[in-house]
Amino acid sequence: MAPRILVVDDEAAMRELLRIVLEAEGYRVAEAGTLAEAQAALARGGFDLVVCDIFLPDGNGLELVRSTRVGGLDVPFLVITAHTTPAQAITALREGAVDYLSKPFDMEVFKGVVAKHLAVHAPEPAAFFDFIGQAPSLWPILQRLPQIARSDATVLITGESGTGKELLARAIHAASPRAAGLFVPVNCGALPEPLLESELFGHARGAFTGAIRDKRGLFLEAHGGTLFLDEVAELPLAMQVKLLRALQERKIRPVGDNREIEVDVRIIAATNRNLEQLLRVGKFREDLFYRLNVIHLHVPPLRERREDIPELARHFVSRACGRLQVPIKQIHRDVMAVLESYHWPGNVRELENIMERAVALEPSAVITLSSLPLSLLGEAQPLAASPPVRLPESGFDVEAHIHELRREYMRQALLRTGGVQKSAARLLRMSYRAFRYHVKKYKLVEE
Ligand SMILES: Nc1ncnc2c1ncn2[C@@H]1O[C@H](COP(=O)(O)OP(=O)(O)OP(=O)(O)O)[C@@H](O)[C@H]1O
Ligand SMILES: [Mg+2]
């Protein structure tokens, strides 16, 4: 996904100009004309850079820089202003702006400065554990990871099933000062309530039938380390109360025991459910939600970071080959093309399973289409699973989008028909002439 830039300026003409320049560079742009609008936009999040004027009708842009930084949001500000003194520039930088340009400025210089700060913002690839990811849609997570790991704050990780929430939690733990302690995962949905309580908090001998000896519980197990509360949305309400108390008081009480034990754990929670929605219907306690949601990380689905598919696929293949002690197999480019265009409802886990299966099924040194499951090849409606058509806030180039769609359908049709253009055209209800014309235009076959 292209980087997103917020342009804050009271002058509509200036915003328009900057938008045109930035969009031509391939960035996505949102605008704000006042401090209040800018604050609202920033609260919604998702920006990679803010271009901000100082004098705004309802306040000072530098306030925005300051409050954003104090609020813990780590987005670079490029301050632009007309009424400029060197002192002002210094103040802006001191407040945390990454750069300063006085108006009027050369658009080439402006573009260079923007590109520079977006690039600095890109995280070092593969810097974290074995979490593979370089796609821009992951940058907002990866760039904050070192800082998050260093802090001891509670983290809530959301994202569809199989997106890598647990791996990310492990990466945070491994990069944290608690790395020497244990990472203790607990699946909050797997156990009925009474068992879960003793699993988490432990129990005293004789607390209930079958409790033949004291049990320590996972909280104590994780003492000095990190407790990973997986599927946290599945916690029964009564357990939510008990968990909240443990988090607030940093003490636990084993079942059937009246002692309280102090524990020192860092909490990372994860869920693939929409917690806000569960709050509204009373299935999840608001107070617990705010306790957990101190730092929120949302892991995007794999279909929003297709750039990473080849590297992930190769990673899973070489790992599977390693386990089977066979030489590392290559992935044929037709296979890669299918992998890159599939919509991955099961996300990274599904890719992992499919590559492992392919390695097991493929006797030769190259993984070819025949080692993929048919469901992947015959995907009828790759778009049905993508979000419904929605016009982005800042509008977009609909012609380019339609071309992109047509090209993608044609590419898949050619794949399905083994390159036979007549059959591919028929699959898409296109005339052979029109098909051939577009094949040339999109350079779909090598000449
Ligand atoms: N970015 C990544 N790089 C390498 N491996 C990954 C990545 N993301 C996920 N995986 C692998 O994919 C599998 C699924 O990841 P994980 O268990 O962390 O997902 P999850 O979000 O916790 O899923 P669920 O919601 O189903 O519990 C794991 O085997 C994990 O190692
Ligand atoms: Mg998980």
Query: Cα of 166 to ligand 2 centre, how many Å?
Result: 5
pTM: 0.62
Distance of CA 85 to the CA centre of its chain: 40
Is 268 in the same domain as 334? no
Confidence at residue 419, expressed as pLDDT on a 0 to 100 scale: 84
pLDDT higher than 70, residue 123: no
Task: Please report whether residue 224 resides in a domain.
Answer: yes
pLDDT higher than 50, residue 125: no
Task: Please report whether residue 335 resides in a domain.
Answer: yes
Percent of the chain topping pLDDT 90:
52
User: What pLDDT band is residue 386 in, cutting at 50, 70 and 90?
Assistant: very low
Answer yes or no: is the C-beta of 301 below 6 A from any ligand 1 atom: no
From the number of C-beta atoms within 10 Å of its C-beta (0-12, 13-18, 19+), residue 277 rates as: exposed
Task: Please report whether residue 62 resides in a domain.
Answer: yes
Of the three residues 373, 407, 428, the one that is the final residue of a domain is 373
Is 293 in the same domain as 347? no
Is 254 in the same domain as 338? no
Task: Please report whether residue 286 resides in a domain.
Answer: yes
What is the average pLDDT across 427-431?
Answer: 90
| pLDDT (tens digit per residue) in 305-341 | 999 999 999 999 999 998 888 888 999 988 998 999 8
Work out the mean pLDDT of the chain and round it to a whole number: 87
Confidence at residue 94, expressed as pLDDT on a 0 to 100 scale: 78
Q: Identify any residues that bridge with 297 across adjacent strands, giving them in sequence order.
A: 157
Residue 30 contacts residue 393 (beta carbons within 8 Å): yes
Of the three residues 337, 356, 373, the one that is the final residue of a domain is 373
Residue 291 contacts residue 249 (beta carbons within 8 Å): no
Query: Cα of 156 to ligand 2 centre, how many Å?
Result: 13
Is 292 in the same domain as 405? no
| Rounded Cα distance, 178 and 70, in Å | 25
Is 105 in the same domain as 144? no
Q: How much is the CA Rg of the chain, to the nearest whole Å? A: 26
Task: Please report whether residue 378 resides in a domain.
Answer: no
Least confident among 95-109, 138-152, 175-189? 95-109
| Rounded Cα distance, 131 and 182, in Å | 19
Question: What ligand has the least distance to the C-alpha of 158?
Answer: 1
Is 154 in the same domain as 276? yes
Which atom of ligand 1 is found nearest the CA of 170?
18
The total of structural domains in the chain comes to 4
| Rounded Cα distance, 276 and 282, in Å | 10
Query: Cα of 172 to ligand 1 centre, how many Å?
Result: 14
Answer yes or no: is the C-beta of 242 below 6 A from any ligand 1 atom: no
Residue nearest to atom 15 of ligand 1 (CA): 164
Confidence at residue 385, expressed as pLDDT on a 0 to 100 scale: 42
Task: Please report whether residue 320 resides in a domain.
Answer: yes
Residues 6+ apart with CB under 8 A from 239: 188, 193, 196, 197, 200
Confidence at residue 383, expressed as pLDDT on a 0 to 100 scale: 43
Of the three residues 91, 121, 151, the one that is the final residue of a domain is 121
What domain range is 408 assigned to? 398-441
- Residue reference for tokens 């006042």: 34
Answer yes or no: is the C-beta of 154 below 6 A from any ligand 1 atom: no
Q: Where residue 116 sits, what CATH number does that domain have?
A: 3.40.50.2300
Integer angstrom CA distances of residue 32 from 43, 50, 79, 82, 273? 13, 10, 14, 18, 32
User: What pLDDT band is residue 120 in, cutting at 50, 70 and 90?
Assistant: low
Which atom of ligand 1 is found nearest the CA of 157?
21
DSSP string computed for 23-48: HHTT-EEEEESSHHHHHHHHHH---S
Q: Where residue 251 sits, what CATH number does that domain have?
A: 3.40.50.300
Is 229 in the same domain as 104? no
Is 90 in the same domain as 197? no
Confidence at residue 105, expressed as pLDDT on a 0 to 100 scale: 83
Is 30 in the same domain as 77? yes
Instruction: Report the SS3 class of residue 287.
Output: helix
| Rounded Cα distance, 237 and 285, in Å | 7
| Rounded Cα distance, 74 and 77, in Å | 9
Is 166 in the same domain as 290? yes
pLDDT higher than 90, residue 69: no
Query: Cα of 156 to ligand 1 centre, how many Å?
Result: 16
Residue nearest to atom 31 of ligand 1 (CA): 167
What SS3 string covers 201-265? HCECCCCCCCCCCCECCHHHHCCCCEEEEECHHHCCHHHHHHHHHHHHHCEECCECCCCCEECCC
Is 323 in the same domain as 283? no
Q: Where residue 349 sits, what CATH number does that domain have?
A: 1.10.8.60
| pLDDT (tens digit per residue) in 72-104 | 677 889 999 886 677 777 778 877 788 888 888
CA torsion, points 297, 387, 50, 136, in degrees to nearest 10? 60
Which atom of ligand 1 is found nearest the CA of 272?
25
Confidence at residue 166, expressed as pLDDT on a 0 to 100 scale: 95
Residues 6+ apart with CB under 8 A from 165: 157, 158, 159, 230, 270, 272, 299
**Largest pairwise CA distance in the chain:** 82
Is 292 in the same domain as 366? no
